[in-house]
Structure 1
Amino acid sequence: MDKAGLLVALLVFLMGEVGRTEPDSGYCIGNECFTLFRTSGDFLSAQASCRQRKGFLMTVRSSVSHDTLSILLGNFTGSFWIGLQLPSGCPDPTAGLKGYEWVTKDRKSDFTNWLPTFDSSCSAPGCVSVSKQNEFKWTQMPCHGHAEGFLCENNFTEPCPSLPAAPGESVSYVTPYGFGGDDVLSLPPGSVATRKPSEQKYLCHSKKWLHAPWSCEIFEGGCEHKCTVDPNKDPSCYCPAGQTVSPVNKVTCEGGLTDDPCARLRCDHVCYQYKDGSYRCTCENGFQLAADGRTCTDFDECADARQCPGMNVMCVNTVGSFACVCKEGYRASGGQCVDTDECASGPCEHDCVNYPGGYTCTCFEGYVVSQKSPDKCELFCGAAECPAVCDPNNRFQCYCPQGYLAEERDSGTFCVEIDECQFLYCDQNCENSFGSYVCTCNKGYTLVDGFKCVKDEDEETDTGSGMSPSPNIPTESLVPHPGPTQRPAAVTAGWLVGIIVCTVFFIVLLVFGIHVLLSRRGAMETGAALKAPDGETHGLQQVSGDY
């Protein structure tokens, strides 16, 4: 495998470290590196921070690890989380680590350092911290409590040996975990070594040191300014206009040029000196040189299907680069794109069925998925009649689908389908269906607003031809469906109007009857008043006179 191929694994390893907060101190020994972070937080946040750095909270399994911990915390006060916690239940003083376990889910340890005042009750704190005040002994502490910081541990293989230094020369190192110095005992892959005063740089990979410039994707190839790929497909460094790359270390920029040949070329990105001594324009990674020989345009890396291999992954082109992302319905996990279980978040009103890359909502019996909102359900009958949906706590509170009327019977409440065509909603033709209806027009007419038939201007109606009407089925029913979160009404508007009319007629008839009854009663009382009782006269006298 060539050098570029060998760097792929290293690039993946380093991507988890780019952009992370640098530790306050660090120490490497053997195949382990330990880092100290003075970031206040609880146990879970500290554990998450270590995982983001591709490590875990520090395990203190030996006296060597304990000595390393003492070195890291020697100049700091306050409590710091380590990777020891109580998984469940109560502490057990007779068990290994007294019932606690490392965050690596094991209890292997050749060393213990508990504080003498160990709490073995079932209410004991579930996590452990250390501090200089308590002589770095393991102190029980509530997991939700806040410590002043935490310690992380990273394991690795294939470390590099230290570089020999010539007389008058020194070598400094920077590890991929954000710390370094001149006396790093173990150098993990991704460490960068710099010789001084020559400023030559090297990258640790597979127990070997690669001389800069290396792959441009890793720390800009070690270049002081920018890294690019020359026409021979080898990484190279370049400098700003007026400066040139050092011929000694090939990474740093030095001196101003009195007669800069690149100034005349006016290169968009890079002015490159070829082996024959000529200067030409080239472009940074992710760009290609235009026909004018100096302008750089974006290159679509996604045109190469090999850029993002794997299942359920796709390539997204960006300016000067590209990104491999998971397809919709998938998420990144362990370097692969795995299916996202959307049903776990409860997106459906009734039932949810997950499938690779997506999900679908289903409804309980007697309901269908709403056409307006696929995550909602609405009542559905699909027959001339069906049992109503009643409140289990109130059997008189029942609901029917749109287009049905509730009818109470001895055996319960039923939903009876309404023939909307009887109400003459349509101008011409009406076709009833379960829960709805459809208006159509005769030939030569166009359906408007779902119920009106408008005569076509460019056609003549063939009256009396005996031809059957040509249906023009609208895209929407006249009867609107209820919203997915609303209960359908048990009585339609037409029936409600009929009930109101009958009620008014009954009230008028009742008033008229009362009026007639009162009139007859008044007449009877008047006649009785005119009739005198026995033995009494009304004081009327017979009048006689001439006519």
Structure 2
Amino acid sequence: MMLLVLLLFPHHLLVDGIMSDPAETVCMGNACYTFHLERAMFEGAQKHCQENGGNLAVVKTKKEARKVQEILTHLGAKHEQKIDLKFWIGLKLHKGQCTVSAKELRGFQWVSGEEDTQYANWEREPKSTCTEDRCVAVHHRRLNADDLVWTERSCKDHNGFVCKFNFRGMCKAFPLVEPSKITYTTPFAQRPVNKLTVLPHGTSADLSCDSQHVYSICHEKNGCFGWTNPGSSCDFSKKSCKDGLCYLHCASADLPSECQEGYELGEDGVTCIQKDFCKDSPCKFKCVSGPQSYRCQCPPGFQVAKDQTSCVDVNECSSHVCDQLCINTNGSYTCLCKEGYKMTDGKCRDIDECSDHRCPQGCVNTHGSFSCYCHAGFNGSNGGQTCDDINECQGNPCDHDCENTAGSYKCSCRKGFRLAADGIECIADSRISSSKGEDDKTDILNDKKSEVLEHTLPPTSRNYVFFCNNKLNVMQLYIILCFK
């Protein structure tokens, strides 16, 4: 069972709640920082730092932030990003206190109780909650080693942590000269450390050289810090760069305190570090130090001016960055669309005005606009907003009579005429004339026959024929006459 627990538990956590030694330690100025990969809640991490004489790290300056980020970058490369590089620092907002957007620390306080800072880099604005403790962690960004990002989160989350230990001063490490051996033990570490170039007040050093053993402590004397036994029979003064007295970029084997061009002696008095050419640069916005010089850098939307120090706005509109209209602004630009278009997915798309039924009758959509038209038989008026009916009858289009209708007209003819196939002309109706002529002939014959019958037939017969005449057709009448 114990073997199973050890296999399942992360290798950087020890049993019984005892924290492991730091994964990395660095000292600068009057402080040392220890970086712990074991994950703990904020209070547990702070307790561990305090038990060793320090606190969770207070990162108030850009210099401190840069150094912390360098170590995180180193750890990320060392572990190939297989660990979660988020570390608690000593910044906390207590339950019952709300964020204050006008302050750099947004109302958070350092574990030391202070609220001032020269450096702040929030990844996003902290939550405006007052119902729980909120704490701050920093995390690694591989692409920008100068960017130490702050993220606020619940204090109950588990993260790595950075401890900071303040000291009265530092002693320079002894030069690494073979065949000597040196072992350092700092006040805050349970195990010896041997990679530091400066060590804090109170550090003990065990030196072995020329078959002799020397014990020394970093102490203060008359305001200066040094070793109680600076080396005894281990004479380092005669050593040079070729013996390892300078760690990097020695300029001469005979001058251990000099560095190559572009480098300068570090705080430890032994290591050569790249010069910071930006220290006294005239850059108005940002300075980037290089191997031999520096260059000024501007924020997005600006470019370095002719004086090579200040920044001027870039007119992005001159590069045709917009689809239609462009308005240049200070450090940026805004794209707009012409009337009749709307912005969709960064492009100006035509608006189909006809889909909004803007016309009274017909509508034709065009690029950026539209046109209204009226149907046949109507005239447009009021700027195309209305369509009025045309009274075609005023032009006398019909042969006889005309009736106006909505959008058209209808022709009709007088009695005895009928409408031609064109719907306009009136022509005489032959069927009506023929029928009328036959009727007239019948009437004349009937009159004559009545007269004949009245004179030749007896009264009784004469009356019968007249009655029948009113009921018989012309052919029957002819038969009667022929019979007579």
TM-score band, normalised by shorter chain: 0.3 to 0.5
TM-score by length of 1: 0.32
Which of the two has higher C-alpha Rg?
2
TM-score by length of 2: 0.36
